[in-house]
Chains A and B, each alone.
Chain A
């Protein structure tokens, strides 16, 4: 393509806190609408907001984790606009002075080289409620509002327009997610809405100093969707520019079903939010010491943890990298080790089968019903030769899907390894009599032939035979 792609991302992250941003309502998901609400987050007259110090600490942690300059003095502004999901008619945010600015994070660019992506600002703001539309006959149905989320603690992280491809955008998001997870700021689950991303994208002729006209992309529910909608819009913009026309400033919505972007609104309708300092909240004042302390107290990040995995557990660098890419997965791995201290074995299973199932199901490690305890149970069964490795894969899959304990799966499915000598001998005798040629070639010195015979026994037992025992018995019988 002859154009240079310019992408900037605006990411909203739900912070992990006990309570909401300005009231003591619990900050967690509940299905029943309007349960986690109080006069403050419902905007009742006379109920005043109080800043949740824990949320401020979380935001501060995010800002320092993203290498931001932290404002020792900042405050909250009101962003005024009418919408039914906002109980007060305004959103409390930080418009004029963000908590953090001028930060960065590192990603790999298209050539695999390290690239620094600027972060313009990190600011604190409150979440809105959720509109529920009810379809209905001629009247067009009705809309209801669930304010459980209203007043929830968010941070908005705005990147500089430093990203040059949809792939870089995806890697930026992956890195951001990893940092937020490691810092303990958020679980960043995009499908659950604890990480939301809007993208600004424009094209220009390489070498141009000014930016092209940009469009804003919304409603992307996964990193993949971000990448695909960017690709879609980049192609669309390129076609427009190729034909000599101009791109129009507008907001587009990604339609997951149709796999395309759809125009939501033109920029002419963009609001004037009439931002001004919220007179009900005190300014945020921090000391340089507090900021420094937050920096020092940042938990171990992915790269450090990977290094530790190599040193402490003797894992190959590759394993350490894969396991630590997601904090959940690394936590999962270490939980397993607590009760089954064979790092490489655990790593193989966590990185391999377990991760494959996670990916298929679109889950994070901590969302799987197959817990570290289950994994340990499975690995112990292999270790104690209750089941074979092959059967174990089958057990894992069934346990993963059904949520049943691995041992129960083994029992219910009759997958216990056959270690009963007499039972095996009968099968082995049959295999020997059915394969005289193979037996002969083994006797003739062809070691490999034994493998074939073992395979036959395994096949006859549908994999449940103890392979070591089969080996021993076969050799003994043939040689006797």
Chain B
């Protein structure tokens, strides 16, 4: 079975019918993974025997007459999500052997549904970034073009066909940009839809757990499984009484797509063209297009970084060499903290912690942090206004093509890649990246953003209109 040409539904069906056992499927997947991993640096850990055991358990379930909906489906899990069997590396050399006592809720639910965890995927320094360039394990290579970054290793795992699903975190856009750079689909869900239990968030306000897959159709197969109330994440309380989905059939005049004209001004012409073409395709597909104003993207990006760095400073304070990481031998407590933390946090994580401490200090709280909170609210309102007139909104996912693995570029340049993703994170609304076209043999993705709990509409529209990266 060629996973790249199969949907999740078809693959699980094949396992149900006994055309292939979960065990066979996973053995094959593991072999492919280790081969591909050498060149692409996708995985930090491969599950090996554990994956085989999981697969055997799925086969046993099927023998017992059960029909697990994701029977034998290979899943990659980003290494900031805990899976109690494998180490949870968090993007820090200090955690390479850290076995978490918890397993992330989303991973748990996929496994209950018969999916098999294949391994943990690479990520930036303490999960902070959308490129994997700051990873202590080195960057993940883009499967489309060596020499470029994949953006996210989970997207690379899916794009190469070694895994059919990837569970990934997304704060400022890592999941969405990864999907864009690798030509696959990636969903960042509405705030509170998917439990974040077991996710080491560097930025709690914006970190969400999402799914990357070949297509919107495949994501649709798992969305319900991972959605819903979980007492271990207070934010999911919005789903306690069930989820009121916004559903509209694709391709009808009922759906109005917002087109933020000025937003595309930041793009290079060849990228810009892709979105103009996408607009045309939507119009031809029978959607109503409405030009809307989204004037706060830049401010939103800045506010995102102020808040994200403030929270990272605090969220990562626990990694101080006492409870986590190695306790450095030092003469004083202060020195011990300094030396231990230097071992745990890499350059990018240290930079963000220091900036965060600065932004929250007495003198700067009002000047930066409080202002950022105000912008957050303004951005939220701006998106709400858009959705008063539109059903969904199209935006780029990344500002440029995947970055080169070679050559130093400034960190500010890297952060500015989140221009289209970070403001959506502030809005709290769901966003789906789908392939939109190609430039220089590299895929370019588009974000479809919708009002809260419009994931099913986004997936339906995305499945119907995306040009797949396969």
Determine if B149 is an interface residue (Cβ-Cβ < 8 Å): no
Contact of B369 among A46, A48, A80, A276 (CB under 8 A): A276
> A44-B100, A44-B102 are contacts. A280–B204 as well, Cβ < 8 Å?
yes
Task: Name the distance in Å between B298's Cβ and chain A's nearest Cβ.
Answer: 23
B52-90 CB contacts (< 8 Å) to partner A = 80-82, 88, 90
The stretch from A61-69, A85-93, A256-264 touching chain B is: A85-93
Task: Name the distance in Å between A48's Cβ and chain B's nearest Cβ.
Answer: 5
Contact of B88 among A45, A84, A272 (CB under 8 A): A45
- Could you tell me if A46 and B81 are in contact, using CB atoms closer than 8 angstroms? yes
Which residues of B have CB within 8 Å of A279? 203-205, 311
- Could you tell me if B200 and A46 are in contact, using CB atoms closer than 8 angstroms? yes
- Could you tell me if B101 and A39 are in contact, using CB atoms closer than 8 angstroms? yes
Minimum CB distance partner of B361 in chain A: A272
Chain B's interface: helix, strand, loop or mixed, by majority? Answer: loop
Determine if B37 is an interface residue (Cβ-Cβ < 8 Å): no
- Could you tell me if A274 and B196 are in contact, using CB atoms closer than 8 angstroms? no
- Could you tell me if A45 and B90 are in contact, using CB atoms closer than 8 angstroms? yes
Determine if A281 is an interface residue (Cβ-Cβ < 8 Å): yes
- Could you tell me if B310 and A82 are in contact, using CB atoms closer than 8 angstroms? no
Which residues of B have CB within 8 Å of A272? 361-362
A46-96 CB contacts (< 8 Å) to partner B = 46-51, 78, 80, 82, 84, 87-90
Interface 1/0 per residue, B199-236 and A, CB below 8 Å: 11001110000000000000000000000000111110
Determine if B144 is an interface residue (Cβ-Cβ < 8 Å): no
Query: Most chain-A Cβ atoms within 10 A of its Cβ — which of B82, B101, B237, B322?
Result: B322
Minimum CB distance partner of A48 in chain B: B233
CA distance A275 to B360 in the complex (A): 7
- Could you tell me if B361 and A88 are in contact, using CB atoms closer than 8 angstroms? no
Minimum CB distance partner of A45 in chain B: B200
Query: Most chain-B Cβ atoms within 10 A of its Cβ — which of A49, A50, A82, A88?
Result: A82
- Could you tell me if A46 and B100 are in contact, using CB atoms closer than 8 angstroms? yes
- Could you tell me if B200 and A78 are in contact, using CB atoms closer than 8 angstroms? no
Which residues of B have CB within 8 Å of A276? 310, 314, 360, 365, 369
> A89-B317, A276-B310 are contacts. A48–B205 as well, Cβ < 8 Å?
no
- Could you tell me if B200 and A80 are in contact, using CB atoms closer than 8 angstroms? no
Determine if A475 is an interface residue (Cβ-Cβ < 8 Å): no
A-B residue pair count with CB separations less than 8 angstroms: 91
Interface 1/0 per residue, A270-284 and B, CB below 8 Å: 001011100111100
Task: Name the distance in Å between A77's Cβ and chain B's nearest Cβ.
Answer: 10
Chain A's interface: helix, strand, loop or mixed, by majority? Answer: loop
- Could you tell me if A48 and B323 are in contact, using CB atoms closer than 8 angstroms? no
Minimum CB distance partner of B231 in chain A: A50
Minimum CB distance partner of B360 in chain A: A274
- Could you tell me if B235 and A282 are in contact, using CB atoms closer than 8 angstroms? yes
Task: Name the distance in Å between B96's Cβ and chain A's nearest Cβ.
Answer: 14
Interface 1/0 per residue, B352-384 and A, CB below 8 Å: 000001001110010001000000000000000
CA distance A276 to B314 in the complex (A): 9
Contact of B320 among A44, A50, A82 (CB under 8 A): A82
B290-329 CB contacts (< 8 Å) to partner A = 310-311, 313-314, 316-320, 322-324
Count residues on chain B whose CB falls below 8 Å from chain A CBs: 43
- Could you tell me if B234 and A48 are in contact, using CB atoms closer than 8 angstroms? yes
Contact of B322 among A50, A51, A145 (CB under 8 A): A145
Task: Name the distance in Å between A376's Cβ and chain B's nearest Cβ.
Answer: 46
Determine if A225 is an interface residue (Cβ-Cβ < 8 Å): no
Query: Most chain-A Cβ atoms within 10 A of its Cβ — which of B204, B237, B323?
Result: B323
- Could you tell me if B232 and A48 are in contact, using CB atoms closer than 8 angstroms? yes
Determine if A42 is an interface residue (Cβ-Cβ < 8 Å): yes
- Could you tell me if A46 and B102 are in contact, using CB atoms closer than 8 angstroms? yes
Which residues of B have CB within 8 Å of A282? 234-235, 237
Task: Name the distance in Å between A24's Cβ and chain B's nearest Cβ.
Answer: 10
Determine if A120 is an interface residue (Cβ-Cβ < 8 Å): no
- Could you tell me if A43 and B323 are in contact, using CB atoms closer than 8 angstroms? yes
Which residues of A have CB within 8 Å of B337? 82
Which residues of A have CB within 8 Å of B316? 89
Task: Name the distance in Å between A237's Cβ and chain B's nearest Cβ.
Answer: 28
CA distance A84 to B332 in the complex (A): 12
Which residues of B have CB within 8 Å of A48? 196-197, 232-234
Determine if B412 is an interface residue (Cβ-Cβ < 8 Å): no
- Could you tell me if A89 and B314 are in contact, using CB atoms closer than 8 angstroms? yes
CA distance A280 to B104 in the complex (A): 16
Minimum CB distance partner of A88 in chain B: B318
CA distance A296 to B434 in the complex (A): 57
CA distance A185 to B281 in the complex (A): 65
A253-303 CB contacts (< 8 Å) to partner B = 272, 274-276, 279-282
Which residues of A have CB within 8 Å of B361? 272, 274
Contact of A39 among B90, B102, B317, B333 (CB under 8 A): B102
- Could you tell me if A80 and B234 are in contact, using CB atoms closer than 8 angstroms? no
Which residues of B have CB within 8 Å of A145? 322
Determine if B258 is an interface residue (Cβ-Cβ < 8 Å): no
Minimum CB distance partner of A282 in chain B: B234
Task: Name the distance in Å between B331's Cβ and chain A's nearest Cβ.
Answer: 10
CA distance A274 to B361 in the complex (A): 5
Determine if B198 is an interface residue (Cβ-Cβ < 8 Å): yes
Which residues of A have CB within 8 Å of B88? 45-46
* 9 nearest A-B residue pairs (beta carbon): A89-B317, A45-B200, A274-B360, A279-B204, A279-B205, A46-B198, A43-B318, A88-B318, A89-B318
Could you list some 14 contacts between A and B, CB below 8 A? A39-B102, A43-B318, A45-B88, A45-B100, A45-B318, A46-B198, A48-B197, A48-B234, A49-B234, A82-B320, A84-B333, A89-B316, A281-B234, A282-B234
Query: Which A residues have a C-beta under 8 Å from some C-beta of B?
Result: 39, 42-51, 78, 80, 82, 84, 87-90, 145, 272, 274-276, 279-282
Query: Which B residues have a C-beta under 8 Å from some C-beta of A?
Result: 80-82, 88, 90, 100-102, 104, 196-200, 203-205, 231-235, 237, 310-311, 313-314, 316-320, 322-324, 333, 337, 357, 360-362, 365, 369
